[in-house]
Amino acid sequence: MSMFAEQFRKRTPRSKQLYEEARRYLAGGVGGRGKFFKPYPLYFKRAYGCRLVDVDDNEYLDVTMGAGPNLLGHNLKVITEAVKKQLEIATHVFFSTPLEVELAKKINQHMPHLELLRFANSGSEAVRQTIKIARAYTGREKIAKFEGGFHGSDDAFLVSCMSPEIKGPDNAPEPVLDYAGIPSIVLEQTLVLPFNNTDACVSLIRKHGKELAALILEPVAATPGGGVVIEKAFLEAIREETAREGILLIYDEIVTGFRLGLGGAAGHFGITPDVAAIGKALAGGIPIAAFGGKREIMEAVVTPTGDTSDHKNKIFHSGTFSGNPVAMAAGLAMLDEIERLNPYPYLQTIGDRLRAGLREVFSRYNLPVQVSGISSIFNFTITDRPVVTRRDVLRSNTALQTEFCLGLIANGVLQPVRHASFLSAAHQEADIVEYLEKSNHVLMTMRKAGSI
Ligand SMILES: Cc1ncc(COP(=O)(O)O)c(C=O)c1O
């Protein structure tokens, strides 16, 4: 029984009531499993800056920030205004608009490796297309991914990602299905690699190279991977090996695109993929995503010719809402605002302050913690071993971590229990201090109760 559950329940009777009602209509009372946590999920009615207000009128310091999109804060005025204006002009037309061209051009200016791109509505939808591109372009079927690498909700990626089960040795993991409903053929189509382990990866890529259509990676293994940042030398080796074997290198930049900088992780590391997907921060909270890559690849397997040969040579990508003008207007407003503010040096400063502060707070209680992340992304794992892979996360004290997160929530910090955390340009220095003070308070409460 959690020691913070009682405090949580006392503060949130309306959420409890809503949860009971929600369970009659929504599976699990929530719109997606990521929103569910015990004892019951919270329901929110308002957001502003870096704060959320729940249905019981409790205010929270938010470090979830919409699971990533709200890079500059909640309800950014320039975005709400752009959306309102666009709603009056054209809400949805299906066919292309000048806004779509303008946004694609702007993305290309900042991410020149996305020579040709397409829009989508969610990260999962965009990442799904990158795999189809790789399979169509190379004529191969197998995909390499990292253990603990998260790429959304498609079958191809729900392998050795969130499962608590691990198989095979540390340097040669074997694929494990994460959830029910995924055909076992996916196991045969997936090569699982150990993150940041150059020797093991180089030898596995060389062994399986000719069967592999793509190697997909998250430049920051933000959630199941524990927030570990890819090492530059490792990325260089992966880039070299994939190029040699004719494997398309795919960056899943759904989290890192526009969060690590206007050039995303590709710009940050100076190493470019063949194909990439971006989303989340691109439109500051309005649903959007995009995928694209080298012109030669995109032209070969995406650009339609309009005749029957397309059925043989091209992937099918279309979507009722892809390129939706409201999302395009939001994306343009967001990128203009990012260009105007250049929030990245500030985000690095507050991110570093939080990471160092959290280490220091845990050390007061002689509790080992590994705090990871970069810029405005952070995650932490309660263990004395360095965290490099998903296996290190699984070997940590996850029960204590869950308890600490619930303690923070019960004390007014929306610390996601099973998700990477995000800061934003709306977080002030005082918010970082509040986060650290509340972390200290939670650990002190646990110490007094004798649970740590
Ligand atoms: C790295 C990564 N890829 C893909 C996705 C899927 O994006 P969406 O939830 O928009 O489908 C996510 C979502 O968290 C993600 O973090």
pLDDT block averages, 10 residues each, the chain of length 452 = 92 98 98 95 98 98 98 98 98 97 98 98 98 98 98 97 96 98 97 98 97 98 96 98 98 98 98 98 98 98 95 96 98 98 98 98 98 98 97 96 97 94 98 98 97 93
Give me the residue spans of the domains in the chain.
Answer: 5-71+343-448, 77-341
Ligand 1 centroid from CA 153, angstroms: 8
Ligand 1 centroid from CA 152, angstroms: 5
CA distances, 254 to each of 107, 250, 292 (Å): 14, 12, 12
As a whole number of angstroms, the distance between CA 94 and CA 300 comes to 24
In sequence order, the β-bridge partners of residue 380 are: 371
Direct distance between the N- and C-terminal alpha carbons of the chain, in angstroms, rounded to an integer = 15
Q: Are domains 5-71+343-448 and 77-341 of this chain identical in fold?
A: no
Instruction: Report the pLDDT value the prediction gives residue 2, as an integer from 0 to 100.
Output: 86
Q: Please tell me the residue having the least CA distance from ligand 1 atom 13.
A: 152
Ligand 1 centroid from CA 433, angstroms: 29
Ligand 1 centroid from CA 339, angstroms: 24
Ligand 1 centroid from CA 280, angstroms: 8
Show the beta-strand stretches assigned E in 246-288: 248-253, 275-278
Asked whether 293 lines ligand 1 (CB < 6 A), one says: no
- What architecture is domain 77-341? 3-Layer(aba) Sandwich (3.40)
Nearest-atom index, ligand 1, CA of 122 = 10
Whole-structure pTM value: 0.98
Question: Nearest Cα to 384, choosing from 366, 407, 400, 360?
Answer: 366
Q: Could you give the 3-state DSSP secondary structure of residue 174?
A: strand
Asked whether 218 lines ligand 1 (CB < 6 A), one says: yes
**CATH top-level class for 5-71+343-448?**
alpha beta
